[in-house]
Each structure stands twice: as structure tokens, then as C-alpha cells.
Structure 1
Amino acid sequence: MLNLLLALCCWVLLSSTAAWCLQRSARRFSALANWPALAPLLLLVSVLPFLPWPHSAVHLPKQWSEQLDHGISPFLALPAHPGWVEQQPLQALLPQLATLLLALGSLISLWLMARQWRLWRALYQLSAPLPLQALQPVVQDDPALQRLLAQYPTLQLQQLPVGGSLFVSGIRRLVLWLPEWFWQLTPAQQKLLLWHELKHLQRRDPLWLLCWRLLCALFWFNPALRLLERHFQQAMETQVDGWVLAQKPKQRALYARTLLQAIRAQHQATPAGRWLQASAGSGCGAVLQHRLGQIMQPGRVLSRWQRRLIITAICALCLPVWAIKTELTGLAPAQWLAPLVQGKVGSWYGEVHSFRQNKPHNGVDVIAARGTSVQAVAAGRVLLAGTGSLHANLGNVVLLDHGGGYQSMFAHLDRVDVQPGQQVDAGQEIGILGNSGRTTGPHLHLELLLNGQRIDPATVLPLDQLQGATGE
């Protein structure tokens, strides 16, 4: 869990840096400000380094393939091992508290989105429905606009009960919201606004905006998402403006005046607290000034090779982040648990006995009733599960990788409940205790490795929490 929190912090840092660079570059190069795909591209590149990638091959100690006896004798109990580790419960709870705070913030943000959706529903109920034929006088002398409108036979028209600007909404049920002043415009102005809003529907812009808002709500702690959303919305509007003017190149001044009128109506409605949002009037003064400037004097558009060059440069940002991710995934777990809730240590690490041909014991043997649940001692990834990978004496085996060079091996299980490649949490059941392989009775043989070398599990795991841990 701590690794996840650190990865989120690095993602916030990387995405914020990318968003800041985008803002600085867009002020200098207007072509970047007019490219909507740049924002989701930066977001994708900032996430890629933290996605799970195929891991390298597993290197196992050669002793696990040799003819070694890992059985125990329940009568060989020794005094408690001196290498206990003091526990710090408060420190161990900090990652869980941080995760709970992040989840709580996401739930609150989603609740606010749901509350806004209820406001939309209230606005929909207060508005007056209009037949689609109400637009026929507007589009009757424009065949191209008629064909574009015919692509949306289920489009609903709603007369706004208050002022505002023309806009579209909906994913499956598409709605075109018309303010009262729309019918007071000249036919040429009405056509320009219809071109604009229908193009938004054709591009599925309401769906894209909804996705951005969901991301901002779920990951409320990342300010870069709001910056990228703002860039996407600005570039989206500028691109749609350019498309409209490509259809009506001689009506730039009229289009700018119509847009200003829509923005003025939007701002007059907003202070009253009765308006939610409209695309034409959204954005700060600098954004609106940029948009009007692009209408009157269109800027340069990125060529195909320029876009490829920018994409290549952005992807190069992943290289240092991959190195950071390697370091993050190498961190040791913050929480260690005992492998069983109840059990008795029958043989400690390093014990020498004739039962093992006077060879030191390579792990810890824990005695418990057959069928007792065996849990992961820390969060990690399953490397091996089942039989066939290691020596038959070990029986059913689970091998976990915990990061930081730590690996844990559980042998002699009667049943395995995990699969290779699966991610497990600390305390998650991975199997049940048994006596598969070569044993003298039901028990769990546990080994702990650090950088491929066996270490005493008692120096890391809280085995003193086991009932009867001393074997008395």
C-alpha cells in the first residue's frame, strides 16, 4: 500500500510538470493550444510508467531444487528466538489512513457530481420541450446543415427557463438547449450556432467532457487533471470554431459577434445562481480572448510530422519515470504479519538436528491444525503457486515477491488459493496448512529471502504473536 501511495505521488508530480510545461508552451505557440488531443496524450503518458508491466524471470535459490528434507519433529521445541522486532502500529496505520482519506475525497467529489446531475434533472423538468421541426425554418435553405441535423433524429430540444447560451448535453439521450434570445437572432446567426453545437455532437464532446470530470472527481488530489481538462476544453472550442468558419469563411465577424452575445447572456445568467454551465461562455477572460483572436485571425495548425515529433518528445518523458518506478517497486513492505493467526513454532531458523542430517534449518516450521488458513506475511505478487516448480519434498508451494528484495516461500500446503502473477494483500489467504510433500505431520514451512539469500524470518515477522510461539 505504501508503494501505491508513493506511485500516486510520483504520478501527481509527473502529470503536474507536464501540465505546467503545456501551459507555458501553449502561451508561446498557439498551435499547441489548438490541439485537443495533446491533453489526453499527456495524461496517458503520465500514467503509462505506473501501469503493471511484464516482470523479468524469477531466479530461485538452487537449494529449492535439491534433495533436502524440510520436515520437522513436533517434539523438538526450543526457547524463544531473541531476534524479535518491535512493532510500530501507528506507523503501520499511516498508509491505510492516507488511502482512506484519498478514497473519502473521491467519494465526496462523486457525490458532488451526482448532486450536479440532479440539478440538471431539475433544469430539464423546468424547461419546455420543443419539437425538432422548430428548427426547420432555420435550416430549410441550408442543405448541408439539414444533412448534419438529420444524423440525430432522436435529438431533443429544450427551451431554457432562464437566460444562458446555446449548448448540447447527454450521452445516449442528446439534448440541445435553446435560450429565449436564440429566436431573436438573425437566421445567419442561428445557423452559425447550430453548426457549432451539432459539430460538438458529431465529435462526441459531451462524452469526453464527462470523462474528464469523472477523472477529476476520482483523482481530486491531482491538480494537473483540471489544468489538462481546461486545455482540452479550450482547444475543443477553438477547433470547432475553426471547423464552422471553414464552412462559412466569409462570416468571421458575424460569428465573433454572435459568440460575444452568447457569452454576455451566459455571464448575465450565472450570477443569479440559476445556471449550471454552457460551453460558449465557459473559461476565464484570457481563454475567451484567445478564442476570439483565433476566430478573427486563425493561428497555425500543427502538421503531421510536427505532431509525431511532439508525441515522440512526450514519450521520452517516460524514461526517467520508469527508473523512478523501478526504485519504488524495490521498496520493502511497510507491514509484516505472521503467516498464521494461531500456531506453535516447532523449529526455528538455523536449528541443527540429526533429523536433517545435522544441516541448519533454512526456515521456520509452524505447527497448527490441518486446514488452518495460511495468510500472506506482506503485500506482494505471486511468483509460484502449486507443485512442479520446486522439489517434490516441498509439496504445494506458494512463493511471493514483496519488493525490496524480499521473498517468502510457504511449503507443504494442502491447498493453494492463488495463481502466479496475482497481487495479494497482507493477511490475504493464500492456501491452507497441510502435509503435502515429505513431512512428519501437518505444518507450515516458511522461508524468507532477502536478495536471494535466506534470512531468519523471526528478525522480520512478528512470530511472537503466535499462540505458543515458544513451543512450550
Structure 2
Amino acid sequence: MSLPTLGFWVVHAAGALAGGGLAWAAGQRLHRWLGLSHAAYGYWMGLWLLAVMPVLLSAALALWAPAPLVALPAALIMPLPVALDLGDARTAGAAHVAGAWAPPSAAPWLAVLYAIGAGVALLRVLVGTRRTGRLCRATTPITTAAWPGPRSRAAARRLLAAGITCRGSVLPVSPFAVRWPKPLIVLPASALDQLDDRALCLILGHEAAHLARRDPQRAGLMAVFNALLWFNPFLLRISARVQLATELRCDAHALAEDVHGGRDFAAAYVRTLRLTAATHTPSTALTHRDLAGHEVRIRHMLHGDGARPLSGPRRALLLGSALLTGGLLLVMQASTARPLREAAIGADPIRVATTVTALPLPPVRDTPAGVRFQAPLAAPRITSPFGDTGSIRQRAHRGTDFGARPGTPVLAPADGRVVAATTAYPDGPQYGTVVVIDHGQGWQTLYAHLQGVDVAVGQQVHAGEQIARVGSTGRVTGPHLHLEMLRDGERVDPQAYLP
């Protein structure tokens, strides 16, 4: 599998931004309109999935799907031209000085840019995880005498019986919980000294709820997916709302065991924020830093959650709408951009031929004015015309050769659909890398000896669009473009139809 095309990167990046923006904007508006609670974890998690899953699944399908999902009769597409020509060895030296310098394709640069961004984002997740691991290893067990009262002491015993250890840290970190390599709750030593018995018991209940709901694992997976889509700013905003909902759920769980402890819990929360305000909380700690989120949490601690619950029919309607929207986004992205999928040199030509000629796509529609062609290069210079019978040839030349520098853009001479883009053309290894376009009305064009292609099988192209780059693959002694033009399966002189 080779690098995806420019269209792949553009379509999937635009789809990711569009899906994330739609999920964020529509999610906020719908949240206010329905009067939902800020603790609606399932609602915000669904929006995050809507922003992430369609683009990742469509990219995976485009990269690895063995064949299109919808099949039409293969007879709707003309068969591939039979490989006949052996190329023109006389174009060796002159082609190096012809044509203009062409900049490299943008697709590799976009691939490098994405790889760098994803690598940096994943590295930050890894560094944060390692920092949290070092912090956990530097903690010390909290002795029974260190707890300020019977409530916190009893809560610590219950946690220990459930396999959860409470440990203290000399650093002024915010309380947090981790599940790997074993369930652990970390508290700052200052909290043990400055918080009362009731507040510590509530904090332990809050962190135990995180472990029971496996929030640390969920947060880690979300961080990885966010890193893969690092260029999408909407994911961070939706993730922050998911995290806020998570914290509110755990707050409610802790207060359910002490219904009158809201004021003490809020005071302990504010005091903890002051203790840790000047520190950098580890990235895996389940905390948030936005002031609005802190205000919402304190309000819920003091007054509870006043929002009305979401009814069953509305919940089903929201789920159905999310699934429908996600499916539409997936289909649109997967069908719009198909990456470049070239077969390796030396692959079985029968397999390649079967894959290409059975292309399940509709034919190009005929136009009343017929097909009009333009030059395949910006500065064409013919080095071997159609029908040439030079001394090095075993038969008359069945195409036209154009001299050009390696990497010079090859342009589509007319609108059409790509029916072949391969390094192993069926029964024609002398052609090297090949692109074949079906223009409709019985017209096809073949481009051989290419350095690389910028289109994918099944892609619709327009006149003047870059489809490949001049090269010297196959049986040649120098870089040039070999063009063959066919009408109803018969090769014709391209010069008769080019301007």
C-alpha cells in the first residue's frame, strides 16, 4: 500500500473538521434547547463518537477495503487497452533538458505533516502517562493514624478490602485515581493535614467512583484518538465536556452516601484547587482547568442537579439521529476520497487486471459536443510520433512520446474516470507505472513510464487536472511520457486530436 492521494487527505481532513464542528455546535445548541444536565455523560460521549468514528472508519475503509461496497455490471466500463508498445529508447538523453521543473506532489508533504503532528500528540500522551507513573511510584502508603477521623479511616479500609490502595504524595497534586498497574488513589499530604474527616471521606468516594466506572481507561483511549486527530480543535472541547460530565457523576456518587455533605464537599474542593493552583496536574489525572466547569461543579455540590432527566423517546430519537448522521458522514467521506492503491512491481498481472476491469462504477456520460482533448503536458515536446518505425523498433510506434523532466505534472486531456493506476499493468511490465482514463463515447487514454500517480482507481478527473508525474519506469532509457489514445478499442494518432 502506497501513500494516499491528495484527495484522500483533503477530504478526510475536511470531513473531520466538519464532523467535529457539527457535533460541537449542534450539541451545544441542543443541550440548551432540551435543558439537559451538565452531567449527561452519555450525551457528550455520543457527540465525541460522532466527531471521531466516521472519519476514522472512512479512512480505514478507503485504505484497506478490498473492493468497493456497491457493485455494478463490469460491462459498463470498456476493457483495458492491451499492452502493445515497448517504449522508445531514443528519448533517453534529450528528455532530461526538456520541460520545466515541477514541484513535488502535495500528498507526501501532507502525509509527513500529519505524521509529525500525530507523533508529537502521541508523544505528549506517553510523556504524561510516564510522568503520572513516576508520581505514583514516588508515593508512600497512608497509615491508619494519618486519617483525621473515623469516616475517612473506614472509607480507606473499605477501599483496601476492594483491592484499592490509598497513598500520599509530598507534591501538591490534585487527588486522582489510576487503575494500572493496580487500582490506586493518590492524595496530597497537604490534604491530609488541612481537610477534615468528612471532606476526605467524600473525596475518597469521588475517586472510587472513577475507578468503578473505569474512567482512567476511557480517558486514556480518548487521549489516543484525540492525538490521531490532532488537527481537530473541536475534539478537545467535546472531550472537556465529557470530562466535566464524568466529574459530576462521581460527585453525585460521593454525595449519595452523605446527602448533607454538599457544603463541606464544595469547601474541600475549593481548598484543593488553591493547594494545586500552581502545579501542573498530570495529563492522566481526571481533572479539568476551565473556570466555568469549576463553577458548575460547585453549584451541583451545593444545590444538586436541577435539570430534568431525558425521557426515553427523546433518548431514542437522539440516538437514532446520531447513528444516521454518523452513517451519512461515513458514507460521504468513504465514497468521496479513495487513496492511491498501487500493486507492487512483480504482482500477478491477472489479479491486477481482474481488479481493474471489474471496476463497479457507472460509465462517464456522453456529451453532445463529443470529447475534446488538450495537451497532457504544460509544455509538450514530441520526441517520437505515432507510427514511427525507427531502427530500434520492432513494430510501428502505437503512441506518442513527449520529452519532459522527471516529476513534470501529467495533465488529464479531458474529463473522465480512472480505470487503472498501477505499477504492474496487465501483461505489460514494459509500461512501468501506468494510468488509464475512460473518457466515455468509446475514448480511452493510456499514460506509461510514470514516476508516480496522483489519482486513484474510480476517481473522476477533469481536463487539466494533474493525474501523474513524468518518469522512466518500465522499459526505457530515459524519462518521458508515453501517451496512447484509443477510440472503440483501436489506437489512433494522438496528434490528430490534440491542439
Bucket of the pairwise TM-score, normalised by the shorter protein: 0.5 to 0.7
Output aligned runs, 1:370-409, within 5 Å. 405-408=417-420
Distance 1:138 1:104, change over 3 A: same
User: In structure 2, which of residues 25, 28, 51 is the aligned counterpart of residue 46 of structure 1?
Assistant: 51
Give distance in 2, aligned partners of 1:445 and 1:265: 65
Pick the aligned partner of 2:290 from 279, 284, 289. Answer: 284
- Mapped pair 1:93 → 2:93: no
The answer to whether the 8 A contact 1:35-1:235 is kept is: yes
Q: What secondary structure is seen at the aligned counterpart in 1 of 2:447?
A: helix
| Equivalent AA in structure 2 for residue 266 of structure 1 | T
2:200 counterpart residue number:
190
Note the C-alpha offset of 1:204: 0.8
Asked whether 1:311 is paired with 2:319, we answer yes
The residue number in structure 2 matching 1:31 is 36
Work out whether residues 130 and 158 of structure 1, in 8 Å CA contact, stay in contact via their aligned partners in 2: yes
Q: Residues of 1 paired with 2:192 and 2:481: CA distance?
A: 87
Deviations 1:287-342 (A, max 9, x none): 111112222131223233322221223334346635743762379x7x999989xx
> What is aligned with 1:2?
6
Mapping of 1:178-327 within 5 angstroms? Answer: 178-184=187-193, 185-267=195-277, 270=278, 273=279, 275-276=281-282, 282-295=288-301, 296-299=303-306, 300-318=308-326, 321=329, 324-325=332-333
Instruction: Trace 1:415-434 onto structure 2 (pairs within 5 A).
Output: none
Q: Distance in 2 between matches of 1:17 and 1:329?
A: 20
1:163 to 172, 188, 209: 172
Residues in 2 aligned to 1:73 and 1:209: alpha-carbon distance in whole angstroms:
59
Q: Report the TM-score when normalising by structure 2.
A: 0.61
CA contact 1:263–1:280 (8 Å) conserved in 2: no
Q: Aligned letter for 1:284?
A: D
Q: 2:337 aligns to what?
A: 329
Comparing 130-139 and 320-329, the one that deviates more: 130-139
Distance 1:181 1:62, change over 3 A: closer
1:227 Cα deviation after fit = 0.6
| Alpha carbons of structure 1 residues 196 and 114: separation in structure 2 relative to 1, 3 Å | same
Distance 1:248 1:431, change over 3 A: farther
Report the alpha carbon displacement of residue 242 of structure 1 after superposing the two structures with TM.
Answer: 1.7
8 Å Cα contact 1:131-1:156 kept in structure 2: no
What's the RMSD between the two structures over aligned residues? Answer: 4.8
Counterparts of 1:174 and 1:134, CA distance in 2: 20
Deviation of 1:167 (Å): 1.6
Residue equivalent to 1:123: 135
3-state SS in 1 of match to 2:276: helix
Contact in 1 for aligned 2:41/2:245 (Cα 8 Å): yes
Do the aligned residues in 1 keep the contact of 2:167 with 2:185 (CA within 8 Å)?
yes
Moved more, 175-184 or 228-237: 175-184
Distance 1:445 1:209, change over 3 A: closer
> 2:271 & 2:29 partners in 1: Cα distance?
30
CA distance in 1, matches of 2:99, 2:118: 35
Stretches of structure 2 that go unaligned for 5 or more consecutive residues are 92-97, 347-383, 388-396, 401-409, 449-466, 483-499
Shift of 1:241: 1.4
Aligned residues: 380
Matching residue of 2:74: 60
Q: Give the Å deviation of 1:280.
A: 7.6
Report if aligned partners of 2:139, 2:167 keep a CA contact under 8 Å in 1: yes
- Structure-2 residue corresponding to 1:393: none
In structure 2, give the amino acid aligned to 1:448: V
Q: 1:106 to 1:132 in 2, by over 3 A?
A: farther
User: Unaligned regions of 5+ residues in structure 1, if any?
Assistant: 341-347, 352-360, 366-377, 379-402, 410-425, 436-441
Closer, same or farther in 2 for the Cα pair 1:286/1:338, shift >3 Å?
A: closer
What SS class does the counterpart of residue 41 from structure 1 fall into? Answer: helix
Q: Secondary structure at the match of 1:408?
A: strand
Per the alignment, do residues 457 and 123 of structure 1 end up closer, same or farther by CA in structure 2, a change over 3 Å counting?
Answer: same
Give the match's secondary structure for 1:317.
helix
CA contact (8 A) 1:157 1:178 kept: yes
Please say if residues 129 and 284 of structure 2, whose CA atoms lie closer than 8 Å, have aligned partners that are also in contact: no
What is the alpha-carbon distance in structure 1 between the residues aligned to residue 433 and residue 134 of structure 2? 64
- Secondary structure of 1:178's match? strand
Tell me, yes or no, if structure 1 residue 456 matches structure 2 residue 445. yes
Asked if 1 retains the 8 angstrom alpha-carbon contact of 2:174 and 2:187, the reply is yes
TM-score between the two structures when normalised by the length of structure 1: 0.64
Equivalent in the alignment of 1:420: none
Change (3 A) 1:234 1:69: closer
Distance 1:60 1:86, change over 3 A: farther
Select 1:150's aligned residue among 161, 170, 179: 161
Kindly state the Cα deviation for residue 226 of structure 1 after the two structures are TM-superposed: 0.5
